[in-house]
Each structure stands twice: as structure tokens, then as C-alpha cells.
Amino acid sequence: MRNKKRSIAIHSALIVSGFMFNTLLANAAPVAIETSTLDKDAGTTSRYGIGFTSSFAQRPFVGVDVQDASLPYISFNYKDFYVEGLNIGYRLWKNNNVRVDVLATPRFYEVEASFADNNELNGIDKTKPTYFAGVSTQYITHHITYTFQILTDIIESNGSEIVVTGSKAFKPGKSFTLTPTAGITYQDSKLVDHFYGVQANEVAAGRPVYGGQGSTNIHTSLTGVWDASKHIQLLGQLKYEKLGSGIGDSPIIDDTDIVTLALGLVYRF
């Protein structure tokens, strides 16, 4: 009977997560809880689980305010292969202090005209969510986890980004982990042009052509993980990002200070 109930619970979670992914993703750009720059051992009592996250995010585009949306959250590992959130990775090499992974991680930079409240984005071609893939290296000390990533958009733009972060996990309680993170992301002109540029066919009054330039963005975040029970884990991440001039100079951008909040619940087996 217990196994039957657990099977029903798992099946229901899959249905709910799939429903939210297919319906809410179409109406807004969600924000995933970023896990790839954290120490992968921090705050996890089990690596097998399923759940969801909900986000409330400012968007930089003209006429677009805060958007809320949900995503599924998956946690799984088999030997050196793992999925955490929507990140998919394979560990190439590891010792006590250094980890080298190949990583595929989602990006939700997309925009569509319907996002704007008063038709400010009419005539803009719709872009889509995508996956970046590349190499992620971590150097872990007793004090700080340093992460260096080189990633390329493998679906939409063929653009690339370089991410450098430092994070530190604290355990204020036995079942609670709090991780502040700070970092810099460089996004090249191909990526900026695809998601934030203005093409010739998109020109309108007050919206000239903008080809996109490389942009250096800074960001800080605070991530919390609470093992509420043997099987229930609660997640939260508050993030601030300052977009660089390569993005901010685009005529479809009117805000370069972006704050996002993402909350999640995961059932771990």
C-alpha cells in the first residue's frame, strides 16, 4: 500500500510539473533556480527528487514589468551523470578540490510582443528559451567555491557566455544551508544581438536598428536550501543582476537593474 501511494504521488507530481511547464512557460519567461555555480554537495540530503519552482522576475524589456511563471525541478544522479533543476551534467574529473564537468543549462532570455503591456514590442520577432552547453570547472576551498564556465547557445543564437563566480555555503542549522554568490558574466555580440538586438525588419518609430555588442553583467544572489523533512526540501533564491551597456544600449531595453525571486519544493526519495 505504501509503495502504491508513493507511486501515485510521483505520477501526480509529474503531471503537475508538466502542466505548469507547458502552460506557464508560454505566457512568461520563467527563472530557474541556478544550481550550476554552487558546491554540488551543499544542502542536499539526497540527489533523487522531483518538484517545481515558481519565479517572480523583473524583465529588462520596454513595457514589460514583473513576470511570474513555474518550471519543473528534477534531481537525479547516476555515477558521474546528474540532473539538478534543469541543469544536465556529466563529471569528467574530480579530486578533493577541483571538479570539471560538461554542462547543459537552460536560459530564458526570450521575448515576444505580447509580453509588453501597451504594445511597445509590436513588430519584434519572438525569440525562444534555449540551452547553453560547455565546460564548468569548480575549485573548492574551505572558504569559497570558485566556478568558471564557458558556455555556448546550442539551439538559438550560437552566441557564447563566460561565467565567473564565487560562493560560500553556510549552515546556520543542521538542516538549512544558505549560500551567497557573486559573479560576472560576459555575453558576446552574437548572443546579445539575438536576444536584445533590433533587426531591420523590426524597426519602428523610436526603435532603430541595434546590432548588439558584447556585454559584461554583474550579479549577486542568495540561495537557501531547507531540508524540511526526510523527503521534503524547500528552495529559494533571490538574485540581483546589473546588465552591461551592450544590452542596456538596445532600444528595446529600459531597465538594467534586474531582481528575481524563485521558490521551489522538491520531494526527495
Give the H or E element holding residue 214. none
Structural domain 2-268, CATH architecture: Beta Barrel (2.40)
pLDDT averaged over every residue in the chain = 89
At residue 19, the pLDDT reads 42
What percentage of the chain exceeds 90 in pLDDT?
Answer: 79
User: Is residue 52 within 8 Å of residue 11, measured between CB atoms?
Assistant: no
At residue 47, the pLDDT reads 65
What are the angstrom distances between the C-alpha of 26 and each of 82, 108, 113, 268? 27, 12, 12, 28
88: which 3 cell numbers?
544536465
User: Is residue 74 within 8 Å of residue 85, measured between CB atoms?
Assistant: yes
pLDDT in tens, 31-57: 899 989 887 665 444 468 999 999 999
**HSE-up of 122 (CA within 13 Å, CB side)?**
7
Q: What is the DSSP letter of 126?
A: P
pLDDT of 194 > 90? The answer is yes
User: CB 93: neighbour CB atoms within 10 A?
Assistant: 10
User: Is residue 195 within 8 Å of residue 128, measured between CB atoms?
Assistant: no
Q: Which residue's entry shows cell 520531494? A: 267
User: Is residue 157 within 8 Å of residue 178, measured between CB atoms?
Assistant: no
Q: Give CA torsion, residues 50, 132, 216, 251, to 10 deg.
A: -100
User: CB 65: neighbour CB atoms within 10 A?
Assistant: 12
Cα 266 to Cα 264: distance, rounded to the nearest angstrom: 7
pLDDT of 181 > 90? The answer is yes
pLDDT in tens, 229-256: 999 999 999 999 999 999 999 999 999 9
